[in-house]
Structure 1
Amino acid sequence: MAVNSAVGAFDAVIVRFVAAEVHPFGIVFFRNLFSLLFLAFFLRRIGPHPFRSPLWPVHCLRAVMKLAALVAYFYAVTLLPLSVAIAVAFTTPLFVSLGSILFLGERPRPLRLLALAAGFGGVWIVLRPDTVPVGLGAVLALGAAVGLAGVALLMKVSSSREPALRIVLLNLLVTVPVAFLLCLPVWTTPSPASLLLLAVQGAGGLAAQFAFARAMRLADASLLILVDFIRLPLAVFLGLALFGEPVEISVFAGGGIILASLLLLLRQERKTARQGP
């Protein structure tokens, strides 16, 4: 899980470094292209028919939603301090829980509603809309979190019927050509240095998915949430060291509240699983 968290932080750093040269559409394209190329080494693990699936419409919708979310997130990273962008990214599970209530018919239990209210209160503290005007970066970061929550909800539909590797493969098979078409009007051929960073980003993104899946099988979910939170102090350190971004106490305070709300949501889900719906 620490690998997944570190990759998440350094992913944002790479975006910052290459964004001056490559449009976010291009960053998304190359990131997914390199992920697909590295995934080709694991095709045999998927089975004899890696491209056969009864859920192609679901995979296509999920891929387009993830593409839009990545573009929004990469734009946000160029507009916000690293720590703020990553703190807002932690709200994705909150939107997943809210979406489960609104669209999957899950019961809005009091503890769950309390956790959601606390989590979104943490977002308010991070963004401070009462003192700092809500800019495009904050809107894009929240939009990315909502989009990734939709991706996670669609994952619930397909994860019980298909292996994770096939889901990742089919997602990339849709995302890469769509991202290529999007970046054509703003195409810029990356320099060798930027191309190397994008290759590292693509390999890291794929490794993070494998690491996360492995961690979910080996460790308790509450421990994984705590470990994943290292992304925030790591982002604060990288933002200060590489880009001279100030350390904001409000980011740690709001991020801590978001973390507490996620642990509260996890507790409620466990209680519901024991008691039944």
Structure 2
Amino acid sequence: MAQTQTVTAVPASGVWMAVPLMLGATLCLTTLDTLLKMLAVHYPIGPLVFFRNVVQVVVLASIARAFVPTALRTRQPGVHLARGACLMTMTVLITLSLSHLPMAQTYALTFSAPLMATVLALLFLGERPLPAQWLCIAAGFAGVLIALDPGGVLSLALLFPLAQAAANAVFYVLTRYAGRTESAMTLVLWAGIGAVVFGVFALVAYVPMPLEAWAMICAGGLLGTSGQLMMAAAFRRAPTAVAAPLVYAQMVWAMLIGWLMFDEVPGWSAILGAAIVAASGIGVVRFGRGR
């Protein structure tokens, strides 16, 4: 989840550093999703997501304690618990989505979250989109309908990525609300803590796992942590209008990994829908940058 921040005068070299940082972040997060997809074939999803978040919290808490001790304190624990519940829900739903749908189609649908978040921000934060942004939102949801593959067989599994996008949209809005007073490190750390708190209930489905599975979970936790930190670093170095569109590189990584590892060849509807959703999301950011 990208944490947007106000960026003051930054050297051009610093802005360009945001590009490899965002590309690396999206690759880390896509690889994390791939590991969860592979593990979910053999083990219950809830415990996998719980332990993945435990790894992230331990790593981030250690970093914060050493370098940013103020990040360990928060003024909005209730908001962060709600964000954690959203994060836990999002990760479970994306794993369910990837277990039943091709990666390209899954990401095409889940990336409608920023469009949903723009609407929610209007309703709950009073942030009014410009007319051009409304057009982008409408086009984005048209892209979602295309990615649903109207010529194919509709499946209830399509509800998983759409529900994930809705939970992600709520997460965006809660993060924007909390981010008015708290740092990016605090936001990332406490979202993980909230996810761990709610994830405890998932342990009722725990089954013993071999060392290889634990290694993949730890690797996933480290990848997720790295992705979050790289994304936060990118947003510190570049304006939102520059950094945010690069999030959509995750769809390219998803298509590539899906093809290489799972023999998934995306259909025209998934590719076209993903392109429209990405262009619409970029438009929402670009048209809103002057506000």
In the alignment, which residue of structure 2 is the partner of 1:261? 280
| RMSD, matched Cα | 1.8
Aligned equivalent of 1:136: 156
Return 161-170 or 70-79, whichever deviates more.
161-170
Cα deviation, 1:184-228, whole Å, max 9, x if unaligned, reads: 2x2122221111111111111111111111111223434434433
Distance, in Å, in 1 between the alignment partners of 2:76 and 2:142 is: 37
| Counterparts of 1:190 and 1:178, CA distance in 2 | 21
TM-score by length of 2: 0.86
Q: Is the 8 A contact 2:130 2:288 kept in 1?
A: no
8 Å contact 1:23–1:183 — kept in the other structure? no
Match of 1:214, SS state, is helix
Give secondary structure in 2 for the equivalent of 1:26.
Answer: helix
Distance 2:274 2:108 in 1: 6
Seq. identity, % = 24
Give the letter aligned to residue 104 of structure 2: S
Which of residues 186, 192, 201 in structure 2 aligns to 1:181?
201
Say which SS state the counterpart of residue 40 (structure 1) adopts: helix
| Cα distance, 1:190–1:132 mapped onto 2, change above 3 Å | same
Question: TM-score by structure 1 length?
Answer: 0.90
Q: Is 2:217 aligned against 1:198?
A: yes
Name the CA shift for 1:257/1:35 in 2 (closer, same or farther; >3 Å). same
Q: Secondary structure at the match of 1:230?
A: helix
8 Å contact kept, 1:21–1:188:
no
Partner Cα distance (1:242, 1:53) in 2: 41
Structure 1 segments, 4+ long, off by >4 Å, are none
Residue ranges of structure 1 left out of the alignment (5+ in a row):
none
Which stretch shifts more, 213-222 or 190-199?
213-222
One-letter amino acid of the counterpart of residue 84, structure 1: Q
What is the 5 A alignment of 1:1-277? 1-42=22-63, 43-47=65-69, 51-128=72-149, 130-184=150-204, 186-271=205-290, 273=291
Whole-angstrom distance in 1 between the partners of 2:256 and 2:82:
36
1:115 Cα deviation from its structure 2 partner:
0.4
Deviation at 1:44, TM superposition (A): 2.9
Q: What is the Cα deviation at residue 263 of structure 1? A: 1.9
Q: How many corresponding residue pairs?
A: 269
Unaligned runs of 5+ in 2: 1-21
Matched residues in 1 for 2:224 and 2:271: separation?
Answer: 25
SS at match of 1:7: helix
Tell whether the 8 Å contact from 2:113 to 2:166 is kept in structure 1 after alignment.
Answer: yes
The structural deviation recorded for 1:169 is 2.4
* Alpha-carbon distance between aligned partners in 2 of 1:235 and 1:65, rounded to the nearest angstrom: 22
Structure 1 residues 134-158: Cα deviation after superposition (integer angstroms, max 9, x where no partner): 3232211111111111111111121
**Structure 2 counterpart of 1:195, one-letter code:** W
